[in-house]
């Protein structure tokens, strides 16, 4: 039997080499793609920062890997969990959805800078922001992985609405996922923070872009 002729569905055999339809185009030298770097200047937790970053660098990677601010977590990297939430010019942002270059000229607040942005504490909480105090007092965390993002989202929520009802809190935090708590104590913490003078008087949140 002619070896180059097989059943209809069999690969053609030519001189012992099975042809599966793959075209050999040889070795192609695509070279090294230089994507370059971009200079950015921004304020992070009240401190001016200037860096040269790749255009593809995510803000969360910049915060964690360049600045060492690892309080901001990466839970999903797909904008689903909210663990990476920070404030950019006072607005809550999932920092895995934003490029570092997009934050150029902005003021960024992370969990590490939150306490310093708050008014002086009136109790023995060690200078925590009122929302942090409320999370602690209401046992609103277990493993803590979601907590930084949850706290930052709560701060943003209460800045927009200092006196929310439970429904508003649940709606406002629905972009932040927690695998541990069942949310009940997180909602309680947010409501407690709202009713404590707290978040609405925190004052020092960076809310304006540098100009």
The 3-state secondary structure of 71-112 reads CCCCCCCCCCCCCCEEEECCEEEECCCCEHHHHCCCEEECHH
**142 scored as a contact of ligand FES (CB under 6 A):** yes
**21-29, 106-114, 137-145, 161-169 -> range binding ligand FES (CB under 6 A):** 137-145
Span from 22-30, 35-43, 69-77, 162-170 in contact with ligand FES (CB under 6 A):
69-77
Minimal distance, residue 81 CB to ligand FES, in Å: 3
Radius of gyration of the CA atoms of the chain, in A:
25
What is the spatial distance between Cα 115 and Cα 113, in angstroms, rounded to a whole number? 6
Structural contact between residues 34 and 15, judged by C-beta atoms closer than 8 angstroms: no
Question: What is the separation of C-alpha 161 from the centre of its chain, rounded to a whole number of angstroms?
Answer: 22
Q: Is 64 in the site for ligand FES (CB under 6 A)?
A: no
| Least distance (Å) between residue 98 CB and ligand FES | 10
Q: Does 106 participate in binding ligand FES (rule CB under 6 A)?
A: no
Closer CB to ligand FES, residue 83 or residue 205?
A: 83
Q: Does the protein bind ligand FES through residue 83 (CB under 6 A)?
A: yes
Q: How far apart are CA 180 and CA 183, in angstroms?
A: 8
For position 71 contacting ligand FES by CB under 6 A, the verdict is no
Binding residues vs ligand FES (CB under 6 A): 74-77, 79-84, 94, 96, 141-147, 178-181
């Amino acid at each position: 039997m002619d070896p180059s002729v097989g059943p209809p569905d069999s690969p053609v055999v030519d001189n012992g080499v099975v042809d599966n339809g793959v075209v050999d185009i040889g070795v192609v030298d695509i070279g090294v793609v230089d994507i370059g770097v971009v200079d950015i200047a921004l304020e992070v937790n009240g401190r001016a920062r200037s860096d040269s970053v790749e255009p593809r660098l995510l803000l969360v990677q910049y915060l964690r890997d360049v600045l060492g601010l690892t309080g901001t977590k990466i839970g999903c990297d797909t904008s689903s969990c909210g663990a990476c939430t920070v404030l950019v010019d006072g607005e809550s942002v999932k920092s895995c959805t934003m490029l570092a270059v997009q934050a150029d000229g902005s003021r960024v607040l992370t969990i590490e800078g939150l306490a310093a942005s708050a008014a002086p504490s009136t109790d023995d909480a060690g200078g925590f922001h009122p929302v942090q105090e409320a999370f602690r007092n209401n046992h609103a965390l277990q493993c803590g992985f979601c907590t930084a993002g949850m706290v930052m989202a709560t701060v943003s929520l209460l800045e927009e609405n200092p006196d929310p009802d439970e429904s508003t809190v649940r709606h406002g935090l629905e972009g932040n996922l927690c695998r541990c708590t069942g949310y009940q104590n997180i909602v309680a913490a947010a409501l407690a923070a709202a009713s404590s003078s707290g978040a609405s008087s925190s004052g020092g949140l960076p809310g304006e872009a540098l100009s």
